[in-house]
Amino acid sequence: MSDMLLNDFLASVDVKPPCEMQSEDHLSNSNSIGIPTELLCPHCFELYDMPLFLPCSHTFCRDCTQSLISSSDKMMQQRSRFICPTCRNIIKYGPEGVDCLPRNVNLEQAVTRFKLESKAKYTNCSRHHQFNMQLIMWCDDCGKKVCPLCALEDTHKDHKVAPLTVFKKYKEVRQRLEKATEVLTGKMEEIGGNILSVKEVMTKIESKADRLKKKVDAECDEMANQVEIRRKTMYQDIQNATAKKQRKRKEEIRSLKNHYNQTKELIEKFSAVLETDGPTEFLKKLSGSGLSHQVEEISKIFP
């Protein structure tokens, strides 16, 4: 029963991961660099790297495709097959592995053009243009982009300054963590409701057992002494049946409480990380807490 509840829990949060990311310059009110959704791999959420075209018409990076093959179960690998995570169709490949799949040349060229155009969109620093410095960092206290030399000046000495890529990662991971907390909170409430439902079932079982005992009493009182032996036998049967059902319900409650406590503990850990100010400190605390793996796992199952 506990395995069934766990499968139900996983199925309830089995949603497709997000297929779009915000750009590095989203923190600025102008000159933002948007990353088109069609240029992002739905497996690693990064720009396509050597994209391969699957027979089901979906595309993944070469390394991501190899990862999908390697993570398939032993039977699938022996049959040279793996499952497309987007449409769930079974993909067959030849003895060459991923090299037998055609490259999506048009998409690869589009990614190359986007990278070149994105590099050209970084603004040069007006104060340090003689050093060809670009505004590739973000000062959270001033709310503006700065170059590496600006970040070393006294003006930003005690400010929270980090590369734009760090702030992009900070926003992405924080959003996933907040969503994970929201989903887990809902699951915790659902588990609590399941516990109450099981207790209600136990009460009904007890009530039904009491009614059966009264009925047996009424029938056995009208019978002869020989029926007395039969009545005791029926008592024992009822008690055994009730005990068996109650044991199952108690096992359900114990399993649900374990899920409840585990979910609550995970939420508390997430909440402790979310209370951290500043992206660098936030990511450092997240890495030190050992929750990065859980965040990545949860991010695969909800948007």
Do 285 and 186 belong to one domain? yes
β-pairing verdict for 90-92 and 59-60: unpaired
- Residue 28 resides in a domain: no
Q: What pLDDT was estimated at residue 290?
A: 77
Q: What pLDDT was estimated at residue 15?
A: 34
Q: Which of 24, 19, 21 is nearest to 168 (CA)?
A: 24
Q: Per-residue pLDDT for 151 more than 80? A: yes
Other C-beta atoms closer than 10 Å to the C-beta of 135 total: 21
Do 183 and 215 belong to one domain? yes
Among 104, 136, 159, residue at a domain's last position: 159
Q: What pLDDT was estimated at residue 257?
A: 92
The per-residue pLDDT for range 94-126, each reduced to its tens digit, is: 888 899 999 999 999 999 888 877 665 667 888
Do 186 and 96 belong to one domain? no
Do 219 and 283 belong to one domain? yes
Q: What pLDDT was estimated at residue 62?
A: 94
Do 189 and 228 belong to one domain? yes
Q: What pLDDT was estimated at residue 268?
A: 86
Do 151 and 171 belong to one domain? no
Other C-beta atoms closer than 10 Å to the C-beta of 233 total: 10
Do 193 and 263 belong to one domain? yes
Do 66 and 127 belong to one domain? no
Residue of higher predicted confidence among 109 and 230: 109
How many domains is the chain partitioned into structurally?
A: 3
Separation in Å, CA 177 to CA 140, 151, 184, 231, 292? 21, 29, 10, 61, 10
Residue of higher predicted confidence among 209 and 231: 209
Residue 180, amino acid: A
Q: Per-residue pLDDT for 165 more than 80? A: no
The per-residue pLDDT for range 197-206, each reduced to its tens digit, is: 999 999 999 9
Do 297 and 222 belong to one domain? yes
- Domain with 204 in it: 1-16+165-303
**Cβ-proximal residues to 72 (8 Å cutoff; 6+ apart), any chain:** 81, 82, 83
CA 205, 211, 215, 218 torsion-angle sign: positive
Question: What mean pLDDT do residues 237-266 have?
Answer: 90
Q: What pLDDT was estimated at residue 7?
A: 39
